[in-house]
Amino acid sequence: MSIRLTELHAKANEVGVLDAIRGRRSIGRLKPDAVEREILEAVLEAASWAPSHHNTQPWRFVVMTGEGRSKLGEGYAKIGAANAPELKGEELEERLRKERLKAYRSPVVIAAICSPADDPRAVREEELAAAQVAVQNLLLAAHAYGLGAIWRSGAPMFDPRMKEALELREDEELVAFIFLGYPDMTPPEPKRTPISEKTIWLQG
């Protein structure tokens, strides 16, 4: 292990849970620098410790780097073409080019997938919730390692053409596209509604 990776692991271990929760921000602008595979494996490992009903662990991930992001790009392009049937020739090609570029907004894109278990006790809504919690674990771990990330979704994520592009099973669903890399921005300080305004206490 390189000195740099050793230092990153040590720094990540120093970040407390509450510090990570309060300090994490959505980072939309990321440097093109590659992220070490060992760090990606560490944040995926953190994701795998999310809770799930009956310990079904209903998640899997597709990690796209380099030209591996082209699968995502083709998914965006197919959806873009389907949503603009009036475009032809150069106009269509320009639209497809822009759609494909969406997959290259960060050096790493992780598709988080809810992959429901065969366990008869499993409830689909609970499986989806568990996969989404795994994404939160991943985001917190990425922050601890000094990475920036943003959880993207939107209509294309739910389009059958995207499921086809990423070769999902019929019963699987995308829950997040995580665009990840080293930050190239300082996020603004977020505002939070006081939790007292969103809490009801029922006491005896």
Q: Domain map of the chain by residue range? A: 3-67+106-183
Q: Helices in the chain by DSSP H: which ranges?
A: 3-14, 17-23, 37-47, 70-82, 89-101, 124-144, 155-158, 160-165
Q: What is the pLDDT of residue 51?
A: 98
Q: What is the pLDDT of residue 7?
A: 79
Annotated binding-site residue numbers: 24-26, 53, 151-153
63-105 pLDDT, tens digit per residue, is 999 999 999 999 999 999 999 999 999 999 999 999 999 999 9
Nearest 5°: the CA angle 177, 18, 183 is 45
| Distance of alpha carbon 147 from alpha carbon 135, whole angstroms | 15
182-199 pLDDT, tens digit per residue, is 999 999 888 899 999 999
Q: What is the pLDDT of residue 148?
A: 98
pLDDT higher than threshold 80 for residue 110: yes
Q: What is the pLDDT of residue 65?
A: 98
In terms of Cβ atoms closer than 10 Å to its own Cβ (0-12, 13-18, 19+), residue 104 is middle
DSSP 63-118: EEEGGGGHHHHHHHHHHHHHT-TT--HHHHHHHHHHHHHGGGSSSEEEEEEE---S
Annotated binding-site residue numbers for FMN: 24-26, 53, 151-153
Q: What is the mean pLDDT of the chain?
A: 95
122: its two tokens:
């499993």
| Distance of alpha carbon 77 from alpha carbon 98, whole angstroms | 8
Does the domain spanning 3-67+106-183 belong to CATH 3.30.1330.10? Answer: no
